[in-house]
Amino acid sequence: MKYGHFDDANREYVITNPQTPYPWINYLGNEDFFSLTSNTGGGYTFYKDAKFRRLTRYRYNNVPIDDGGKYFYIKDGDTTWSPGWKPMKTPLDSYECRHGMSYTKFNSSKNGVEAQILQFIPLGFWGELQKVSLKNTSSETKKLKLFSFVEWCLWNAEDDMTNFQRNFSTGEVEIQDSTIYHKTEFKERRNHYAFYNVNAPIDGYDTDRESFLGLYNGFDNPDVVNDGAPKNTVAHGWSPIASHYIEVELQPGESRDFIFMLGYVEVAPEDKWESKAVINKKPAKEMMAKFDTVEKIDAAYGELRAYWDRLLGKINIDSGDDRLDRMVNIWNQYQCMVTFNMSRSASFFESGIGRGMGFRDSNQDLIGFVHQIPERARERIFDIASTQFEDGSCYHQYQPLTKKGNSAIGGDFNDDPLWLILSTTEYIKETGDFSLLDEMVPFDNDASRAKPHFDHLKASFYHVVNNLGPHGLPLIGRADWNDCLNLNCFSEDPNESFQTTGNKKGSTAESLMIAGLFVVYGKEYVKLCKRIGKDVEAQEAEKHVDAMIEAVKKDGWDGDWYLRAYDYYGKKIGSNENEEGKIFIESQGWCTMAGIGQEEGMVEKSLNAVKEHLDCEYGIVLNSPAFTKYYIEYGEISTYPAGYKENGGIFCHNNPWIMIGETVLGRGDQAYEYYTKIAPSFLEDISELHRVEPYVYCQMIAGKEASKPGEAKNSWLSGTASWNFFAITQYILGVKTDYDGLVIDPCIPSKWDGFKMTREYRGATYNIEVQNPEHISKGVKRILVNGSEIDSKIVPILEAGKEHSVQVIMG
Ligand code: BGC
Ligand code: NOJ
């Protein structure tokens, strides 16, 4: 069953039934100021950091779901309704929610009144706008009462859920004209406040939640709206809100527009006050003046659309299948930008207070957006590298506001350092900018310990070399990419965190996933060294890579697939000898991508084993059989019920590793089948089962051993976005960036006749047309660049500012 449809021309997903199987959300904002908005108006707004600068309250895991947001109530006679359906949930005559690129629109109607809301954050602006248009389509005069509603909480969002003895006594507001200013804690250490304004005279307001709702009422039954009259309350402590009240009389056919602005202001400490206890409203008023007319807001919306035209114009395909085209051209790229902005902080599954920017996550995210915003990718690489230590290890996360690493969610994940080689080399391949290697980048955020960025890569590489275990394989540390494979943890206490507990000496447990990862990015490191003339270092490094390949072949092969790890006792994990968890996806992915033992048939055997043991109708599960009891020596992985999350769930992040592995073998049909199994647009028809948004990837789909296979969770913020984009564009469609040009080597389904891709690269536009006359999956016979044949698969860097035709004939 479907709950809406794609509108590709507008780059929107159009939800036509508000009761989606889970809230389907969108992200507004592109730089400092953000908002999460569900298809019924739920969500919240924050400046830079959803923990420290959240403007409005949101209640996670609440009943009913998704309660609290930026709401409107329209009272028309005895009927009260909300354009986003919630909170009133009055059945609407029509409802539409259009989630687009950084904006959301609602179009609804009830009893001859049409309401349209356009909600977005203008580029470079610290405020969220809602253009509300009301139209009388009936033949009678309408006397409407419009109430707005937001709930403030501009203080520490974690504290907001715990420290009631204080918070209930701190709330303060000011009201002037049509603006409600929220100034809680402003007189002490905060140099910032928020405001909610409308560009029209108001007929009343409320700022005290209890007075507005009634102590025992929900958002769907507010006293003030029921009474049809505001109480003009001024909040003192308790829970401050902002609600405007406007009486709107509309003749038949008449319409009116209102512009609401939810803004955030920072002032210098000496400029905080206008007069005693009266906050300085000048900056807020300047913000309001920027968007006080429909023309101004429409122009800003136009700029936002043009911004996305530019970003999404860089890679565009025409494959003949709309489902694939809309993933590659629109939604997957969009999701990559959202993960760039959010990392794993704020979604409807991430609370915005738990996890900051992850070292491994942010490096991997980068491969999904570097082509769109290379300058910001460069800055991000330095932010991440600055949280590394001289020995190559690093903080597992840093907080976006301070950019400082912290140990809140642990450290010593031994895969972490290697991802810096991935992000850096992909950045250079996209941009040709080798200069970042020479930039001085701090260690441990300490400028006095800065070294050229290249040294950070070297430290990453040698961190593996310097931390090998008994089989010459990489020690796993607290865990590798699989945060839940905690091989040195041994936790017996339910009050302990698997992320931070590590009570065993980490000198035996080894990871085959890191081994494969090291061979892939070790080779990249060698290639980079050669490219920049560091030949001695290249030779030295190559020896370590070769040694790792040998170690995997010798002690990492189980006969039909690669082992996953050795545990603390030196016992095999992911072996046919094990009772449960006989085979794992991660080592199959990385060791096949690395091509380890390809001549000996290992790559093929491994991928065949994946197909046989891990593949299912909804994707490739992480391990099989899933664990059914707690293995203290394995850690969190065995805490999940079978089929969920890291225990036999379909972890969408690592499915592309297998897709890429398949392209090593040239099996394009198989690679693409795996792609379509988890690509959200291909799952639209099973939305009822899948539950989360059909336009973005989720982290996890319940696996074959789960009680409800195919049911998905944790949409939006996941490395799944960038890896699927990387796999489809660079390996399946096979247009891969390299230091000296674009390598074109598709690995596609044999039945395809070909496809077209427009790729902006180093300032030039490559109009690539791939033809597949012999219906093969892999193999390039000829490439013609602007009509002349070239004798390699690398299309060189072509003249910037121009369009070039690249004709590729497979065969
Ligand atoms: C989850 C992982 C996550 C980790 C770190 C675990 O509970 O299963 O997916 O990476 O927590 O926060
Ligand atoms: C989610 C985390 O953000 C990521 O870092 C990790 O690799 C996966 N879970 C797998 O555990």
d(C-alpha 523, C-alpha 542), whole Å = 7
Tens-digit pLDDT profile for residues 315-340: 999 999 999 999 999 999 999 999 99
Nearest residue (by CA) to ligand 1, atom 10, is 483
pLDDT at 99 over 90: yes
Residues 292/298/303/307 CA torsion (nearest 10 deg): 120
Task: Give yes or no for a contact between 454 and 438, defined as CB atoms under 8 angstroms apart.
Answer: yes
Give the number of the atom of ligand 1 that is nearest the alpha carbon of residue 355: 12
- Calculate mean pLDDT across residues 444-449: 96
Give the number of the atom of ligand 2 that is nearest the alpha carbon of residue 479: 11
Amino acid, single-letter form, for residue 562:
Y
pLDDT at 349 over 90: yes
Sign of the C-alpha dihedral, residues 16, 22, 27, 33? Answer: positive
Tens-digit pLDDT profile for residues 620-674: 999 999 999 999 999 999 999 999 999 999 999 999 999 999 999 999 999 999 9
Has this prediction a pTM greater than 0.85?
Answer: yes
pLDDT at 401 over 90: no
The pLDDT-based confidence of 354 (bands split at 50, 70, 90) is confident
Q: With 0-12 CB in 10 A as exposed, 13-18 as middle and 19+ as buried, what is 446?
A: exposed
pLDDT of res. 1: 87
The pLDDT-based confidence of 369 (bands split at 50, 70, 90) is very high
Ligand 2 and 361: CB distance under 6 A: yes
pLDDT of res. 188: 87
Task: Give yes or no for a contact between 125 and 33, defined as CB atoms under 8 angstroms apart.
Answer: yes
Q: Which of 208, 483, 558, 745 is catalytic?
A: 483
The pLDDT-based confidence of 560 (bands split at 50, 70, 90) is very high
Domain limits, the chain: 4-265, 344-467, 735-810
Nearest residue (by CA) to ligand 2, atom 3, is 361
Which ligand approaches the C-alpha of residue 360 most closely?
2
Beta sheet of 565-566, edge-to-edge order: 510-511, 565-566, 572-573
d(C-alpha 478, C-alpha 488), whole Å = 6
pLDDT of res. 409: 84
Residue 483 annotated among the catalytic residues of the structure: yes
Does residue 64 have a cis peptide bond before it, meaning omega lies within 30 degrees of 0?
yes
Give the number of the atom of ligand 1 that is nearest the alpha carbon of residue 646: 8
Most informative mutation of 653, 697, 715, 720 for ligand 2 (most atoms within 8 A of CB): 653
Q: With 0-12 CB in 10 A as exposed, 13-18 as middle and 19+ as buried, what is 41?
A: buried
Q: With 0-12 CB in 10 A as exposed, 13-18 as middle and 19+ as buried, what is 600?
A: exposed
Which of 254, 245, 260 is CA-nearest to residue 297?
260
Select the CATH number that applies to the domain covering 4-265 from these four: 3.40.640.10, 2.70.98.40, 3.40.50.740, 3.10.330.20: 2.70.98.40
d(C-alpha 197, C-alpha 188), whole Å = 24
The pLDDT-based confidence of 576 (bands split at 50, 70, 90) is very high
Which ligand approaches the C-alpha of residue 482 most closely?
2
Kindly report the length of the chain. Answer: 811
pLDDT of res. 312: 98
Ligand 2 and 483: CB distance under 6 A: yes
Q: What is the Å distance from ligand 2's center to 179 Cα?
A: 43
Tens-digit pLDDT profile for residues 216-245: 999 999 999 999 999 999 999 999 999 999
pLDDT of res. 400: 81
Other CB atoms within 10 A of residue 16 CB: 14
Ligand 2 and 360: CB distance under 6 A: yes
Q: What is the Å distance from ligand 2's center to 361 Cα?
A: 7
pLDDT at 402 over 90: no
CATH number of 735-810: 2.60.420.10
Give the number of the atom of ligand 1 that is nearest the alpha carbon of residue 499: 5
Does residue 625 have a cis peptide bond before it, meaning omega lies within 30 degrees of 0?
yes
